[in-house]
Amino acid sequence: MPVCAAPPFASELAMSCDERWRAHDLLRLRCLAAFEGEPSWVRDAFERAPYAVVRRALSAHGVVAIGVRGPQRSQRYGTWTTLTEIVEVVAPEALVCSEPLAGRAALSAFAALAKLKRDTLSPLNALTWGPTGSAGFELATHTDTVTPSSDLDLLIRTPEQLTRECAAHLLNHLQTVALQTGIRIDAQLETPAGGVALTEWAAGKARVMARHASGPRLLADPWSADRETAI
């Protein structure tokens, strides 16, 4: 997040990572607490769509790290909410069957998503996955967020190890769809160690970056308990 509010708790209390709220889940909120230094666009954005995305950050008990998105790509604000303000939780995989509003389906991000859903031979069919980013936000909130130049961001849940061979096959499939629809598809694997870019794991790198609430780490195996190098 380019701008982030100071946490509303002492740093020594930032030890919680409540599994009920997972990174990239969208939260519908009753209201949004105001913090010092809040960008001027935040109130209008929240009024337009009272949702925020769960971000990766350690927090105190009862507090959730969230991000608010504005209409511009540069308008991203990291802030905090409490459990009492959460009305609804929408996971990316819950949005796979959602349809864009009338007149929006032709946008490239939605066209690519529809193609992935229709393909009965897609390697995604064996996995739990869903859209994040602008496409996921629009499907959840029913507010125009996707633009003609928007990428399609995907989250793929991989609690069990995805082999390098399967990752390469999946990446090749996504790249083919991306070429056919004229956009970029960016997929992230959600592993026990955090978020890992599919491109990195499929490339066969000795170590890949796993983004975790406690910070990014370089790991040989994101499905192993071994946390070799913090960065």
pLDDT tens-place string over residues 78-95: 999 999 999 999 999 999
pLDDT tens-place string over residues 6-32: 999 988 888 766 778 899 999 999 999
Same domain, 116 and 172: yes
Same domain, 107 and 72: no
d(CA 99, CA 61): 36
Let me know: does 46 contact 79? Beta carbons within 8 Å.
no
Out of 153, 186, 221, 226, the active site residue is 153
Instruction: Give whole-number Cα distances, 147 to 38, 57, 110, 116, 133, in Å.
Output: 25, 29, 10, 19, 12
d(CA 230, CA 131): 28
Same domain, 29 and 83: yes
153 labelled catalytic: yes
Q: Which of 90, 119, 148 is the last residue of a domain?
A: 90
Q: Which residue has the tokens 């929006």?
A: 104
Same domain, 185 and 160: yes
pLDDT tens-place string over residues 179-203: 999 999 999 999 999 999 999 999 9
Out of 151, 186, 221, 226, the active site residue is 151
Res. 49 pLDDT band, cuts 50 70 90: very high
Q: Which domain holds residue 134?
A: 92-230
- What domain count does the chain have? 2
Same domain, 137 and 153: yes
Helix pair 164-181, 108-118: axis angle to 10 deg: 130
Q: Which of 48, 75, 90 is the last residue of a domain?
A: 90
Q: What is the mean pLDDT of the chain?
A: 93
Q: Which of 66, 90, 114 is the last residue of a domain?
A: 90
151 labelled catalytic: yes
